[in-house]
Amino acid sequence: MDDIVRQALAKWPHVPHCYGWLGLDARGNWYMRDDRTQAEGPFPAAKGSMLRHDKLIDFIHRNYEHDDEGQWFFQNGPQRVYVELEAAPLVWRIAETGFAVTAHTGQAVEVTGCLLDEHGHLYLSADLGLGLVHTQDVGLAADAIEQGLWTPETVTAAELSARFGHVLSPAERHATQA
């Protein structure tokens, strides 16, 4: 977490959390979801505007984490902006040489598991959590599987959230708890 964020948290510890305004799609893209977009429906059916500002995206990546309930958020100064997830909290990129895996946030990880759902989506688990393999890297993942580096376990998409402890829609959860 950035020092400026820690300082803002200390200065304003009771800022209300924000729900529904930020989404992460299955390719690791961030979407800003204004009131109009949210009124059109839940993420990812109504995605909003894709963020393209590199410094803002880097700031989000450095301050992206999860709470004890498995809800992923971006700590924006004193405010937690909870993230709507299309598929998983992380999106993995795979290097062409050595099959090194990096999260969409830039963090390198060691793969601890490989999962394949009923839709053919390939997920990897790691110390950071569960992530979906980026569509552009599925061929590389297939090569790693063929070489015996990863062995896919068959799962259903519906069981992943409970099994790995992440919440796809903190906004929906927050609305049902309110």
**pLDDT, tens digit, for every residue of 31-63?**
999 999 999 999 999 999 999 999 999 999 999
- CA 75, distance to chain mean position in Å, is 14
Q: What is the pLDDT of residue 8?
A: 72
- Select from 162, 171, 6 the least CA-distant residue to 73: 171
pLDDT band at 64 (very low <50, low <70, confident <90, very high): very high
Q: What is the mean pLDDT of residues 99-127?
A: 97
Task: Specify the higher pLDDT residue, 160 or 3.
Answer: 160
Q: 63: which 2 tokens?
A: 């301050």
| First vs last C-alpha separation in the chain | 29
10 pLDDT exceeds 90? Answer: no
14, burial (CB in 10 Å: exposed 0-12, middle 13-18, buried 19+)? exposed
Q: What is the pLDDT of residue 15?
A: 77
Cβ proximity of 166 and 72 under 8 Å: yes
Q: What is the pLDDT of residue 177?
A: 87
- Select from 98, 121, 125 the least CA-distant residue to 109: 125
178 pLDDT exceeds 80? Answer: no
Beta-strand relationship, 90-94 and 101-103: antiparallel
1 pLDDT exceeds 90? Answer: no
Note if the bond before 44 is cis, omega within 30 degrees. yes
What is the three-class DSSP state of 102? strand
Q: What is the mean pLDDT of residues 94-100?
A: 94
pTM of the entire predicted model: 0.91
pLDDT band at 78 (very low <50, low <70, confident <90, very high): confident
What is the three-class DSSP state of 149? coil
Q: What is the pLDDT of residue 9?
A: 66
pLDDT band at 14 (very low <50, low <70, confident <90, very high): confident
What are the contacts of 118-125 at 24+ separation with CB within 8 A?
A: 118/156, 118/157, 119/157, 121/26, 121/87, 121/157, 122/152, 123/88, 123/155, 123/160, 124/92, 124/150, 125/164
Question: How high does pLDDT run on average in the chain?
Answer: 94
Q: 156: which 2 tokens?
A: 């259903």
pLDDT band at 11 (very low <50, low <70, confident <90, very high): confident
